[in-house]
Structure 1
Amino acid sequence: MTTHGLVVVTAGLGRPSATRLLADRLTEATGRHLAEAGREVEPTVIELRELATDIAGHLVTGFPAPALRRALDAVGNADGLIAVSPVFAASYSGLFKSFFDLLDPTVLTGKPVLIAATGGTPRHSLALEYALRPLFVYLHATVVPTGVFAAADDWGSGASAGTDTLPARIDRAAAQLAALLPAAARPAAPEERVVPFEQQLAALRPD
């Protein structure tokens, strides 16, 4: 069974957080679509609120703390990415942008990314198209067609025929991400052969 590494970056500031809740729903839906195709997912969730101090320090010093280094490496090694930010002042949060500013500019090239956001009212939903999507296009990621925005009222709404509800949008976006994840299993890292020191010395001696 093919196993995929999925990294979920969530920039919610509260606990509990609507941003984290949306990220969890998207992760669950993506896993369900992959399971239906006989594929597995190994999700890694990165809570940026827990890395806020490290992110600020890296921006100033240029050196990441160990926890931040692991988060950046996880994004770089992932098969796919779910990125979710709250909307502040009609755009993604500063914490969200600061984290992605720290990535190598080429690390997301060709990587499937599902973008999502949360906000108080539906009028913030366009931030997906004029803020988040351009950011990941700039980073050369492959952004899934459906972005998911969840307003406060979406969490209390139920599905109804003919209505594009939050569950329907989550399911559609997750299906698109699952379809973009590579079909082949990730190759295992090659084992490094250790040559004994005596053998290295012998190779240096003249015949």
Structure 2
Amino acid sequence: MVTVSAGLRQPSSTRLLADRLGAAAVAALEAEGATATVETVELRDIAHDVVNMMLTGFPAGGLPEVLERVTGADGLIAVSPVFTTSYSGLFKSFVDTLDTEALTGMPVLLGATGGTPRHSLALEYNLRPLFTYLHADVVTTAVFAATDDWADDGGVVRRIDRAGGELAAKLLGAAPRKPADEFSSVPSFEQLLKGS
């Protein structure tokens, strides 16, 4: 399982939420007798590589390894801060570097952080449609954590546990994923000759 955190600062409430979601999913999997590990990707660490990919079309630096880890994962936890009612530009730019078929069928848990609960619907009108477009298998419960949620975390902890359990259930019931092959949609030479 891979967690992608688009937090821009260190420490980051976005990373905190990502870590808690990952821990909840692992705990739920272990409760069912399964073993699991979580690898965390901090997008801020590869921000320049993401921009270079957007400009050149070629992944370089640390981005190829991150893309391989994300697209080869059994499940994904994606967490972004919300700015101006939407996910961060860094988060969207990273998603734009993914092949549009790379997350097909992958169980995905969504999370977001923001200063006020008024932005909580950004998960439903921004993040969920983005991952639905990518044909990911998004869990029902998405978790938004506002600044005040960390002071009285009873509600957010329950949502985190429920979402982690839903991701674990999808992972336990899912057939093993075959990572997308960038050449799978390219016709063979034989197919090309038959068409002429």
1:170 to 121, 141, 160: 160
Residue 97 of structure 1 is matched in structure 2 by 92
Structure 2: gaps spanning 5 or more residues: 178-196
Contact 1:125 1:149 in 2 (8 A): yes
Note if contact 1:7-1:80 (Cα within 8 Å) is conserved in structure 2: yes
Letter of the 2:142 partner, please give it: G
Rounded Cα–Cα distance in structure 2 between residues aligned with 1:80 and 1:158: 25
Instruction: Tell me what 2:114 maps to.
Output: 119
Percent identical = 59
TM normalised by structure 1 equals: 0.83
Aligned equivalent of 1:52, options 47, 53, 59: 47
TM-score by length of 2: 0.87
The answer to whether the 8 A contact 1:79-1:182 is kept is no
Shift of residue 66, structure 1, vs aligned partner:
3.7
SS at match of 2:38: strand
Q: Which has the larger strand fraction? A: 1
Q: What amino acid does structure 2 have at the position aligned with 1:103?
A: L
Q: Which runs of 4+ in 1 moved over 3 A?
A: 182-187
- Cα pair distance change 1:118/1:184, threshold 3 Å: closer
Give the 3 Å change call, closer, same or farther, for CA 134–184 of structure 1 in structure 2: closer
5+ residue gaps, structure 1 = 1-5, 160-164, 188-207
Q: Is 1:128 matched with 2:123?
A: yes
Q: What's the CA shift for 1:142?
A: 0.6
Moved more, 175-184 or 27-36: 175-184
CA distance in 1, matches of 2:49, 2:95: 13
Pairwise CA RMSD of aligned residues?
Answer: 1.4
Indicate the residue corresponding to 2:182 in structure 1.
Answer: none
What is the SS of the residue equivalent to 2:64?
A: helix
How has the CA–CA distance of structure 1 residues 40 and 185 changed in structure 2, closer, same or farther, with 3 Å as cutoff? Answer: farther
The alignment covers a number of residue pairs equal to 177
